[in-house]
Amino acid sequence: MPAQTMEELVSLCKRRGFIFQGSEIYGGLQGTYDYGPLGVELKKNLKEAWWKANVYERDDMEGLDASVLMHRLVLRHSGHESTFSDPMVDSRETNKRYRLDHLLKEQTLLVRQNIATMMRLDNAEDITAIVSAMMEHPDKAQVVLVGAQVIEAETGKPGAWTAPRPFNMMFRTTVGPVADLESYAYLRPETAQGIFVNFKNVLDNTSRRLPFGIAQIGKAFRNEITPRNFIFRVREFEQMEIEFFVRPGEDEAWHEKWLEARLAWWDSVGIPRHQIEILDVPKADLAHYSKRTYDLMYNYPSLGFEEIEGIANRTDYDLGSHTRSQGDMNLSATVLPNEDSTQKLTVLEQTSNTHIVPYVIEPSAGVDRAVLAVLSEAYTVETLENGNERIVLKLRPHLSPIKVAVIPLARNKPELVETARKIKQDLQKLAWGRILLEDSGNVGKAYRRHDEVGTPFCVTVDYGTLGGEAENADLKDTVTVRNRDSMLQDRVAITDLAEYLRSRLFG
Ligand code: ATP
């Protein structure tokens, strides 16, 4: 059974060194988290699994790593300058800012019913409709928020609300030594734009034909109004994105294919199909570039079903909007005129000898939300025969931060420690990931710790291994291997150890 509450996961992450609050010793910077010794391994393994499945194991993909800082014109022509905003409302009493849709969601049904009635809407559950009506009539919305006695969480009392307004979520920064009106750039709000502006570079260097994709993993930054729920909604996060370029007309079929491929991948990292709901995003909620989007909603502990990945049909919007002088391009999307770009982002179709602007299917997953989901699925509390509880992280072995812990029975016996070190070094050479020499000197505690961090196998070196005593002679050069999930132990010859572990870790 997965984790029951977010608190369980937050506590495990802190206790065992997976994830810490960013800038913690100065009181923390809201919306930022740092990955500790185990978190960095888990996150790296997850990203590698994604890259392997989506780049190496396919024949129609290329990889890319574009810069985080982007020219302001990229984000102007992408539409983010004008539309990448969330509805925000301020409290005059506490000076805190709230995302309007989140604020409304937290109210009682009765309060929402009053709001809906005052806004002349029939459905108090349709928060999207309420928000868009309020954004269209912000002055009236202010009167309604106050009149309906919308509660501010900070005080627990009806708030002194301002009129709502859009808040652009992009981080702007100055570039170079001169701070003038033109010398600014953006931290990218999605990795996708780096792929679109490199489309021609990749095409020219690889001679790809449609359909093909470009994959990228990297940081994205959004000045979320209310970052919350641990690493679920943060201001700095990572995305694993694919932009898959197809012929117009083939986009809908490819959209379905990617939906299936992505569900299969989530299953391969331990997130079963029944824990994901597919939301066919209502038209009113679609992003400015999207014709249709499937949101994959994972059942997070304490939160319920929330987005882990969006799979959007972005049409010819992106390549079209970054193309110079699109007048003659016959685009289906509505884009800003562009005389700033130097390129036409088109593909020559050999059969018809015409230039076309491809459509784009975009599976876009958040690394941090994926880490949270994988941890949640793996988190297990078991009651042992003696009545004690053990917490065990049943991670898929390829994701485990530590693949094998090698434990000398006593830390003050150099022969035990040296034998353990030699076994560790030999296993490390196999490049499976981290193998840890665990010489804390207490095997029982080490097992508990490695259960909690998801280490699939513990290898213990004891006096039998050294073969010092006559009655243990047959144990010479063997070790005990303990299985995390079954807790069963096998005695294995050191010469057979690598194959024993390999077949069970990756077999
Ligand atoms: P939400 O509606 O939850 O704000 P979104 O629809 O804006 O998400 P997308 O723009 O589709 O998100 O981004 C793709 C993916 O990036 C999301 O599915 C999510 O996994 C991740 N992501 C987006 N915003 C954040 C964030 N603030 N913190 C962590 N991950 C995020």
Q: What is the pLDDT of residues 132-187, one digit of tens each?
A: 999 999 999 999 999 999 999 999 999 999 999 999 999 999 998 877 777 899 99
Closest ligand 1 atom, residue 370 Cα: 20
Pocket test for ligand 1, best of 131, 307, 309, 314 (most atoms within 8 A of CB): 307
pLDDT mean across residues, the chain = 95
Q: Give the per-residue pLDDT at 434.
A: 97
The closest residue, in CA terms, to atom 21 on ligand 1 is 366
Backbone angles phi, psi at 200, to 5 degrees: -65, -40
Reported confidence tier of residue 351, pLDDT bands at 50, 70, 90: confident
Question: Tokens 């030699």 map to which residue?
Answer: 422
Q: Indicate the pLDDT class of residue 467, thresholds 50, 70 and 90.
A: confident
For ligand 1, the distance from its centroid to the CA atom of residue 222, given in whole angstroms, is 9
Distance 271 CA to ligand 1 centre (A): 18
CA–centroid distance, residue 190 to ligand 1 (Å): 9
Percentage of residues of the chain with pLDDT beyond 70: 100
User: Across residues 401-413, what is the average pLDDT?
Assistant: 96
Over residues 237-259, the mean pLDDT reads: 98
Nearest-CA residue for ligand 1 atom 29 is: 233
364, 371, 372, best to mutate for ligand 1 pocket (most atoms within 8 Å of CB)? 364
Q: For residue 307, which atom of ligand 1 is closest to its CA?
A: 18
150: DSSP letter = P
Separation of CA 310 and ligand 1 centre (Å): 8
The whole-number average pLDDT for the span 328-352 is 90
Instruction: Give me the mean pLDDT over the 12-34 stretch.
Output: 96
Ligand 1 atom nearest to 364, measured from its CA? 14
**Distance from the alpha carbon of residue 329 to the mean position of ligand 1, in angstroms:** 31
Q: What pLDDT, on a 0 to 100 scale, did the predictor assign at position 349?
A: 86
Where b means 16+ CB within 10 Å and e means fewer, 278-296 reads: eeebeeeeeeebbbbbbbb
Lining ligand 1 with CB less than 6 A are 190, 222, 224, 233-234, 237, 239, 307-310, 364-366, 368-369
Burial class of residue 408 in the structure, from the number of CB atoms within 10 Å of its CB (0-12 exposed, 13-18 middle, 19+ buried)? buried
Name the closest-CA residue to atom 25, ligand 1: 233
Return the pLDDT at 421. Answer: 97
SS (H, E, C) 82-114: HHCEEEEEEECCCCCEEEHHHHHHCCCHHHHHH
Report CA(82)–ligand 1 centroid distance (Å).
19
Nearest residue (by CA) to ligand 1, atom 18, is: 309
Q: What is the pLDDT of residue 183?
A: 82
Alpha-carbon gap, residue 307 to 370, rounded angstroms: 10
Residue 365 CA, ligand 1 centroid: distance in Å = 8
Q: How confident is the model at residue 340 (pLDDT cuts 50, 70, 90)?
A: very high
Pairing relationship of beta strands 212-221 and 69-71 according to DSSP bridges: unpaired
CA distance 159 to 83: 28
Ligand 1 center–CA 311 separation, angstroms? 11
Q: Are strands 402-408 and 457-461 parallel, antiparallel or unpaired?
A: parallel
pLDDT band at 297 (very low <50, low <70, confident <90, very high): very high
Question: What would the two tokens of residue 272 be?
Answer: 């079963």
Q: How far is the CA of 366 from the centre of ligand 1 (A)?
A: 6
Give pLDDT, residue 80. Answer: 95
Upstream peptide bond of 211 is cis (omega within 30 degrees of 0): yes
Which residue, judged by its Cα, is nearest atom 2 of ligand 1?
A: 307
The per-residue pLDDT for range 417-444, each reduced to its tens digit, is 999 999 999 999 999 999 999 988 799 9
- Judged against a pLDDT cut of 80, whether residue 468 lies above it is answered with no
Quote the ligand 1 centre to 234 CA distance (angstroms). Answer: 9
The β-bridge partners of 63 are 215
| pLDDT score, position 328 | 76
Q: What is the pLDDT of residues 94-129, one digit of tens each?
A: 999 999 999 999 999 999 999 999 999 999 999 999
Distance 116 CA to ligand 1 centre (A): 28
- C-alpha 363/C-alpha 217 separation (Å) is 12
Cα–Cα dist 93/151, whole Å: 12
- 180-233 per-position pLDDT tens digit: 777 899 999 999 999 999 999 999 999 899 999 999 999 999 999 989 999 999
Closest CA to ligand 1's atom 24: 233
Question: What percent of the chain clears pLDDT 90, i.e. is strictly above it?
Answer: 90
Note the pLDDT of residue 400.
Answer: 98
* Mean pLDDT of all residues in 320-333: 89
pLDDT at 1: 76
Report phi then psi at 364, rounded to 5: -130, 110
What are the tokens at 368?
């941090």
More confident residue, 336 or 236: 236
**Amino acid identity for residue 92 in this structure:** R
Ligand 1: which atom is nearest the Cα of residue 227? 27
- The confidence band for 326, taking pLDDT boundaries of 50, 70 and 90, is confident
Which pLDDT belongs to residue 472?
Answer: 75
